[in-house]
């Protein structure tokens, strides 16, 4: 999906985080947070953004 983005500015929204009991008590959106965190830290994702001049 990232490689298919057209040239220009793209905004990516995510809610990465480590889930604990405190977070579960505050927010119902917890299932994907750790997966999003892993994805953002994946060197393959960094290489895709790095190759596009993103910060």
Token pair, residue 19, equals 């889930």
Q: Determine the Cα–Cα distance for residues 46 and 27; give it in Å rounded to an integer.
A: 28
Q: Quick one: pLDDT at residue 37?
A: 92
**pLDDT tens sequence across 1-55:** 888 888 888 888 888 989 888 888 888 888 899 999 998 888 988 888 776 544 4
Q: Determine the Cα–Cα distance for residues 16 and 10; give it in Å rounded to an integer.
A: 18
Cα 30 to the center of its chain, rounded Å: 14
Q: Quick one: pLDDT at residue 9?
A: 87
Q: Quick one: pLDDT at residue 3?
A: 81
Owner of token pair 């999003």: 36
Q: Quick one: pLDDT at residue 54?
A: 44
Q: Quick one: pLDDT at residue 52?
A: 55
Phi (first) and psi of residue 31, to 5 degrees? -60, -40
């Amino acid at each position: 999906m990232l490689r298919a983005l057209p040239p220009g500015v793209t905004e990516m929204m995510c809610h990465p985080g480590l889930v604990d009991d405190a977070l579960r008590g505050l927010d119902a959106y917890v299932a994907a947070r750790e997966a999003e965190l892993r994805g953002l830290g994946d060197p393959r994702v960094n290489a895709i953004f790095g190759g596009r001049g993103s910060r």
